[in-house]
Homo-oligomer: A and B are copies of this chain.
Amino acid sequence: MGADDDEIMTAVSRALRSHGYAELTMQDIADECSKSKSLLHYHYDTKEDLLVAFLDQLLTDYEQRIECRADQPPEQRLVDFLARFVFTPDDGDRENFHLALLEMRSQGPFNDRIQAQLDRSDRLLRGTVAEILAEGIETGRFEPVDPDRTAALLVAALDGARTRQITLGDSVTDTDDTYTRTVVEEILSQIVDPILAEGSLPGLDATVAELDRGA
């Protein structure tokens, strides 16, 4: 990725936040950067090509962030993974981005190349959690559970929490907690803590703050 590509990917992200997926045009993306629409078309034949490249980049970045933390103990890695799903209140920009991704997912089954990236995302998320759990079980930090099935449960809960957060923008209780925060806290206390072999989990707040600082 050169600086040009970086700029284009940032423009795609901004355009998705502003316009959503279904009605996004190459012109909308060009409007968010210093490139002309014809230059975008020179690099990417179609809007679909550009969106596939964008998803590919997003997932590659995510893979790298996960790998950077691979030397941490498994319970810290798991809390890190979960903390990334916590939305802060009024995080409208992030909500709009995920709303566009949700729109893309609802239309993904009708587009093979988008679908392939969505499949990759699913495998990456579930595979990461399963790998963390398997390592923790092997080193005696977690009780033996089925890593794949537990990963499916955790990823489903996180995905569902995010979908409800972005489509309803609602908090669950009378507190200021976002839907995603409530669900991540309950995942930690009702699913992860019971399979902890010994010791206690790293704090969620400290982990969210550390991730916010770009760690």
Contacts and interface: CB of A to CB of B under 8 A. Distances in A.
Interface in A48-96: none
A150 to B, nearest CB: 7
A173 B160 contact: no
A194 B148 CA distance: 20
Q: What is the copy number of this chain in the assembly? A: 2
Contact of A122 (B99, B155, B164): B164
Contacts of A179: 152, 156
A119 B22 CA distance: 23
Interface in A163-215: 163-164, 166-170, 172-173, 179, 182-183, 185-187, 190-191, 194
A107 to B, nearest CB: 7
Q: Which of A118, A145, A191, A194 has the most CB of B within 10 A?
A: A191
Nearest to A121: B168
B122 A183 contact: no
A80 to B, nearest CB: 19
Given A108-B167, A109-B167, A160-B163, A187 B99 contact: no
A202 to B, nearest CB: 20
Contacts of A161: 152, 156, 160
A191 B150 CA distance: 11
A102 B109 contact: no
A186 B150 contact: yes
A172 to B, nearest CB: 4
A4 interface: no
A160 B172 CA distance: 16
A170 to B, nearest CB: 7
Interface of A: 20, 22, 99, 102-103, 105-109, 115, 118-119, 122, 126, 145, 148-150, 152-153, 155-161, 163-164, 166-170, 172-173, 179, 182-183, 185-187, 190-191, 194
Given A148-B173, A150-B190, A156-B183, 8 more contacts: A20-B106, A102-B105, A102-B106, A105-B163, A119-B170, A150-B186, A153-B182, A153-B187
